Structure 1
Amino acid sequence: MSDWVSWAAIAAFVGAYALIISERIHRTAAALGGAGVMLALGAIDASGTFFDEHTGIDWNVIFLLMGMMAIVGVLRQTGVFEYVAIWAAKRARGKPFRVMAMLVVITALASALLDNVTTVLLIAPVTLLVCERLALPAAPFLIAEVLASNIGGAATLVGDPPNIIIASRGGLSFNDFLVNLAPLCAVLIVVLLALCRLMFRKIFVFDEVRAAEVMELEEREAIHDPRLLIQGLVVLALVVAGFVLHPVLHYEPSVVALLGAGLLIGISKVETREVLNEVEWPTLAFFAGLFVMVGALIKTGVIAHLSAALAAATGSNPLGQALLLLVGSAVLSGIVDNIPYVATMAPITADLVEASGGKSHVLWWALALGADLGGNATAVGASANVVVLGIAERNGARISFWQFTRYGLVVTAVTITLSALYLWLRYFV
């Protein structure tokens, strides 16, 4: 990492990240500008940007998002999100914290079965409508759901994309993740609810008039296109089945999402233009720019250098390796997207596992927890975070980088601390 291109790439990344944090310009413009600088510097070329599996734009993420956004756009036209919003508000009797607790638990459970990005795409429209009905600020609810999605996604092999990479490298099964990580994630969701009660306590104001109005609503009246709803739910069920059966069918989630979107648009009478208008194109462009910038850091060896330094610093102590891997992964995943980070770190972890023996499997759990939970630290730490910020902005409930991050850092610090305690107690005591 001694050549000038590597240092220039670091400077370009830091500059773009600073602009994203400062919000002086839109985050999409900052990410695309940073990507352009990387290309101009020669830190990455066209081949590395568009075609390289390790350094290029992750088209699986882009097209998964696009396909699911299209499906959600069709479902939005049926009134189903308003139906669920009214149902949830009535079950919680209009009490804000009960509503948040319900949405957080639903999000965490769904994120364990689906991927966390798909979950927040489905739950965010419901949240916006619930908050509108109860005259509550949407931002705290959306932030709590994103945090829950990243915690819930850590529980299973399919819950978060980094877990799929880890499972492939470590030869780990769905049940391995379930047995080793799900118990901890269940505890962390309870802790998250307690933190939300403290962090957002000022917004939990019960409005008796609004609550009474909601209790009088009939949710069935919200459904204004039953036929389209049935078509949409059938296609969504097929898509979910495709996600769950990935180990058997070997179709990438992006392919399943695109097939589902194409099928739904084909069998329904919705206008294609209307569906495409529901796609969050600025969010997709932001991801593309971020992938190019991180790809350039991988190409120039910056991330590999950082990962190797992290691995070297652990020495031969298994507990020290696990804890440093956990904390280091959390820090780095809060700065760069956790997918390319894990893709880079997985081979190094595999070497450590092979060399250490004995309690070596704990290193995979340390990497998974650090990457998944560390994604909560900042607004750009995980894909779900960026997606929700885009949805919020589009619906007039803008969440700034620092608004998200000041809560995300607290939750990350607490959950990583508890994860360290869990790893120590379960695997070393």
Structure 2
Amino acid sequence: MLAASGSLGLLLVVLGFATTRPRGLPEATVTLPAAGLVLLAGWVSPAEAWRETLALLPTLGFLAAILLLAHLADLDGVFSWLGARLAVACRGRPRRLLALTFAAAAGTTAALSLDATVVLLTPIVLLTANRLALPPRPYLYACAHLSNSASTLLPVSNLTNLLAFTASGLTFAQFGALMAAPWLVTIAIELAVFLRFFRPDLDGYAADAPEIPPAPVFALVVLGVTLAGFGVASLVHVEPVVVAAIAAAVLAARALSARRIRPVTLIAEANPLLCLFVLGLAIVVEAVSRQLLGAPLQALLPDGTSLPELLLTAALAAVLANLVNNLPATLLLLPLAGSNPGLLLAVLLGVNLGPNATYLGSLATLLWRRVLVRTGEPPRWQEFLRLGALTVPLTLAASVAALWLALQVR
């Protein structure tokens, strides 16, 4: 009883600290001591923790590399250029700008992960809306929702995907092929709901668009080659972290040679403390799974891939993500799903789409909120909840149905 309550209490403390981040302290500040307590109490053995660490190292290395790659792409002007392109391409029409913002956010999330959409694209979208004298809310909420719901397409789109990809036995291309239809269906539903929900903000006409800066050709080519490289690497059994690290090294060498960035900044942008947070969280979650939630979740989780079973799996994952955050939910559910690709992908739909229901569902949403507070555009939680209530059930049901159909023709 002490082990069960103690491990759950530590998880809640860790999540509470990561959510609020008092005085701006990094998430790892509390997570690493919590993981140490788990080891000292014997709720997870050192050998088990070491195995968990070795299993997570490629995933954490990729996380650091993709964060650095996204920052370097921003340094080269990729996101500023993209914002200007959106402003010109919308031709003064707010609804067209919303559709283009959806496309930009979905593409950024899929290729560079949800963190790039939240941290780098969101401020550019806000700046673009302000320059066009348009209400920014529809476009900002699009970044928040698509950072979660558009992160289902590729293994590299989300840390949760990388964790499942390793266990699934799928190649990069197979993963993308199975998730393509759920991804497209989700984006289409979200756009339809947004057009109706924000209809009053989408009337009128935009101001004149700014001039488009020169295209950052070198960075765009590197990003394109990197995305193609992810697909090729899985065929020759090369980890995605290798491709991401090479791409980041290429852009980093160029930035260093031009003296546009310092080595210490490169280390900071790779965010090693976030990687340590994920590692410590995994150990704490392992204790909760062993001592409390593993058996009940195993009893609830189906073992087949019929449509009702996939719907139940995704719904369970979505609820759990909004209770304990999507990363702990993923760490709890993936070992129970085994190596069944259908169940693993249904779990991903739940933990990636479910967080659009509440602020607490994912760290990306919490980070998005902090970004907007710093820019003077704090979101309204009532509005976030209403929009989530309209989108999450629809996208979850439709995407799971699309996944089920994809599995039938696989």
C-alpha RMSD over aligned residues: 4.2
1:271 aligned onto 2:260 = yes
Q: Tell me the amino acid that sits aligned with residue 374 of structure 1.
A: G
Please give the per-residue CA displacement for 1:66-99, whole angstroms capped at 9, x wherever unaligned: 41243134213xxx53333232122212333321
Distance 1:315 1:414, change over 3 A: closer
Q: Is the Cα contact below 8 Å between 1:62 and 1:287 reproduced in 2?
A: yes
Residue 415 of structure 1 is matched in structure 2 by 395
Q: Tell me the amino acid that sits aligned with residue 29 of structure 2.
A: L
Q: Is the Cα contact below 8 Å between 2:281 and 2:328 reproduced in 1?
A: no
Q: Is the Cα contact below 8 Å between 1:140 and 1:200 reproduced in 2?
A: yes
Q: Is the Cα contact below 8 Å between 1:9 and 1:38 reproduced in 2?
A: no
Structure 1 length-normalised TM:
0.74
Q: Is the Cα contact below 8 Å between 1:188 and 1:415 reproduced in 2?
A: yes
Q: Is the Cα contact below 8 Å between 1:235 and 1:260 reproduced in 2?
A: yes
- Relative to structure 2, which stretch is displaced further, 5-14 or 333-342? 333-342
Give ranges in structure 2 of 5+ residues lacking alignment: none
Shift of 1:249: 5.6
In 2, distance between residues paired with 1:251 and 1:306? 34
* Number of equivalenced pairs: 401
Q: Tell me the amino acid that sits aligned with residue 211 of structure 2.
A: E
Q: Is the Cα contact below 8 Å between 1:111 and 1:119 reproduced in 2?
A: yes
In 2, distance between residues paired with 1:121 and 1:30? 17
Distance 1:286 1:389, change over 3 A: farther
In 2, distance between residues paired with 1:419 and 1:289? 30
1:371 aligned onto 2:383 = no
Shift of 1:130: 0.9
Residue 72 of structure 1 is matched in structure 2 by 73
Residue 346 of structure 1 is matched in structure 2 by 334
1:330 aligned onto 2:321 = no
Please give the per-residue CA displacement for 1:23-75, whole angstroms capped at 9, x wherever unaligned: 59357556633543453464679994998235789632541344124313421
Please give the per-residue CA displacement for 1:383-411, whole angstroms capped at 9, x wherever unaligned: 64355445445545455877756644543
User: Of 159, 169, 172, which residue of structure 1 is paired with 2:170?
Assistant: 172
In 1, distance between residues paired with 2:186 and 2:173? 19
Please give the per-residue CA displacement for 1:130-181, whole angstroms capped at 9, x wherever unaligned: 1231234545423312322433332345444434443443333455445543
In 2, distance between residues paired with 1:303 and 1:417? 31
Residue 203 of structure 1 is matched in structure 2 by 201
Please give the per-residue CA displacement for 1:103-134, whole angstroms capped at 9, x wherever unaligned: 11233245445544455556335313312312
Distance 1:136 1:363, change over 3 A: same
User: Of 33, 36, 47, which residue of structure 2 is paired with 1:36?
Assistant: 33
Residue 145 of structure 2 is matched in structure 1 by 147
In 1, distance between residues paired with 2:184 and 2:198? 21
Residue 365 of structure 2 is matched in structure 1 by 385
Q: Is the Cα contact below 8 Å between 1:70 and 1:275 reproduced in 2?
A: no
User: Of 285, 294, 297, which residue of structure 2 is paired with 1:310?
Assistant: 297
Shift of 1:416: 1.9
Distance 1:378 1:279, change over 3 A: farther
Shift of 1:196: 1.5
Distance 1:117 1:140, change over 3 A: same
Distance 1:45 1:178, change over 3 A: closer
Q: Is the Cα contact below 8 Å between 2:3 and 2:291 reproduced in 1?
A: no
Distance 1:170 1:58, change over 3 A: closer
Task: For 1:87-98, list aligned pairs within 5 A.
Answer: 87-98=85-96
In 1, distance between residues paired with 2:223 and 2:293? 41
Percent identity of equivalent pairs? 24
